[in-house]
Amino acid sequence: MKTIKLLSTCLILITTLITCTTAPRTVPPPSTTNTLPSQTTTVEKPAKVTPVVAPTPYVRYSATGSATWYQLADHGLETGSGEIYDLYGKTAAHASLPFGSRVRITHLANDESATVIINDRIQSGGSLIRVSYVVAKELKLLGQSNSQVSVTTLPPLK
Amino acid sequence: MIPIIKLFFLTGLLLMLSSSVFAAQSAEINDFIREMANRHAFNQNSLTDLFQQVKIRKSIVKLIDRPKSSSNKRILAAWDPYRAQFLTADRIEAGVNFWQQNARALQRAESAYGIPPEIIMGIIGVETIYGKNTGGYRVMDALTTLAFNSKQRADFFRKELEEFLLLAREENADPLALTGSYAGAMGLPQFMPSSFRNYAIDFDGDGKRNIWTNPTDTIGSVANYLKHRDNYGWQAGEPVIMAAQVRDQTAADTLLALEYEPKYSLQTLKEQGLLFYGDVPDNTLGILIDLKTDLGVAYWVGFPNFYVITRYNRSNRYAMAVYQLAQEIAAVYHENY
């Protein structure tokens, strides 16, 4: 009886050892860096991370091109950033600048300028920037045939 | 508060037109004096002396009693010219400077009452350009004129005159020394006497509530007003106003016919035809705001905080001017400081 008891204890020990050593091979520990679906076949759910509002990356950028502006029908619609377009907001749409970028726009024909925040994406169509109605008014773009502007990014606020 | 826009143009004119038609109202004024003496234990002789020094300014009445529109249809006044009066480069610059000089008081007002500095800047800017246009009338003259000559609002102004007499007594001030607008709105924030008695505070601890020359008391008083005026107080961190759409006239008419108070949820407003795409929960309360812009009528949802601004002056254009001026000043201030 004693030998049986001893044997079974040994067996339990051995199996435990085996499972212990083999476990990591069958169930890989959740990796913080892996992104490929093939590596995340375990039942482990990725930890929920509360999104942190990242500061807008400051892209040094300067360009000239033509400006267009939004229509009344756009007022109240969602922009690419998720913000709602307001015809009196100091905002603009650009093809690539990160949302939240502050840019200085200068109307080259009259030197009027305005500071705006990029919060929308411009679709293809040849213009460099699309500004809100109130910005177009400030730049005296309305009713002008020449809508050439310069666009320069400004460093983010402290 | 009563808009003071026309004040600039009319000050000179009014000085010429002031006259003493005291006799005509003397019976009514005597009744008022007796009433004050009975109700508040004022000395009747002192009050009679005081009112004998008051100058009735007839032309003020014309500014208050405007002809009423005969139809019930809402007439939208143009927004862009109104906006252009208030969102000027000078006013924005004055606001940035006032903010910079009073940054500490504004910070204290924000921590005590939750009102963002720019909103207080917007109000004091629209009211008086930070004290530049506080009105040069003796409050006694303005309120007595209106209390006994206004056809439409005599009761309102008699009440304010009563409040003013109490205010002067409580503040230990000479009633003839206190100045205000043609409507009796006083100091940097243009508080009417009743608002002063209810909401003005001594925010710098010198024992006086001085909204005429003290920016700190003014800032605290405006913040206290926005936080505590009737049932609606400013809610820190909540939205003020966001653009929306209403695509058919029937829906717009229905939404605009609702009571002007934020008591309907976005959900309810959407069921009535509001198109709103903002990231705001459907149970948030709001009102539909319409302004006649250069491009046509545009719509917004005004949240309870927008309504709070209209408690200062019940006008969408006024509240929007305060809000937009606030945004402009904040943008320039944060760029520089």
Instruction: Decide if pLDDT at A25 tops 80.
Output: no
Q: What is the DSSP letter of A108?
A: T
User: Minimal Cα–Cα distance from B316 to chain A, Å?
Assistant: 15
User: Minimal Cα–Cα distance from A155 to chain B, Å?
Assistant: 10
Task: Please state which of the ranges A120-124, A148-152, B224-228, B266-270 shows the lowest mean pLDDT.
Answer: A120-124
Asked if B292 and B78 count as a contact pair (C-beta separation under 8 A), the reply is yes
Asked if A136 and A69 count as a contact pair (C-beta separation under 8 A), the reply is yes
* Candidate list B28, B35, B93, B127, residue with the active-site label: B127
User: Where are the alpha helices (H) located in chain B, listed in sequence order?
Assistant: 7-17, 22-40, 44-52, 58-64, 80-86, 89-101, 103-113, 117-128, 139-149, 154-170, 193-199, 215-228, 249-257, 266-271, 304-310, 316-336
Instruction: Decide if pLDDT at A24 tops 50.
Output: no
- Burial class of residue B16 in the structure, from the number of CB atoms within 10 Å of its CB (0-12 exposed, 13-18 middle, 19+ buried): exposed
Note the pLDDT tens digit of each residue in A33-56: 333 333 334 444 445 555 566 677
Domains of chain A: 62-154 (2.40.40.10)
Instruction: Decide if pLDDT at A6 tops 50.
Output: no
Q: Which amino acid is at B287?
A: I
Residue B176 C-alpha from the chain's centroid: 23
Asked if B204 and B214 count as a contact pair (C-beta separation under 8 A), the reply is yes
- Rounded Cα distance between B93 and B75, Å, is 33
Average pLDDT over residues A4-21: 43
pLDDT band of A30, cuts 50, 70, 90:
very low
Is residue B227 helix, strand or coil? helix
Q: Which of B277, B295, B334 sits opposite A84 (nearest CB)?
A: B277
Report the pLDDT value the prediction gives residue B242, as an integer from 0 to 100: 98
Chain B 208-247, residues with CB within 8 Å of chain A CB atoms: 242-245
- Rounded Cα distance between B329 and B130, Å, is 13
Report the pLDDT value the prediction gives residue A13, as an integer from 0 to 100: 42
**Higher model confidence: residue A16 or residue A115?**
A115
pLDDT < 70: residue spans in chain B: 1-25, 67-73
Cβ-based contacts of B331 with chain A (< 8 Å): 90, 115
Note the pLDDT tens digit of each residue in A100-111: 999 999 999 999
Q: Where are the beta strands (DSSP E) in chain A?
A: 62-69, 91-94, 102-107, 113-121, 129-131, 148-154
Residue B268 C-alpha from the chain's centroid: 30
User: Where are the alpha helices (H) located in A28-138, listed in sequence order?
Assistant: 133-138
Note the pLDDT tens digit of each residue in A72-107: 999 999 999 999 999 999 999 999 999 999 999 999
What is the complex's ipTM, to 2 decimals? 0.87
Domains of chain B: 7-67+135-185 (1.10.8.350)
User: Minimal Cα–Cα distance from A125 to chain B, Å?
Assistant: 23
- Rounded Cα distance between A111 and B214, Å, is 40
Report the pLDDT value the prediction gives residue B230, as an integer from 0 to 100: 77
Question: Does residue B162 have an active-site annotation?
Answer: no
Q: Which residue of B has its CA nearest to A115?
A: B331
Report the pLDDT value the prediction gives residue A14, as an integer from 0 to 100: 42
Note the pLDDT tens digit of each residue in B135-183: 999 999 999 999 999 888 999 999 999 999 999 999 999 999 999 999 9
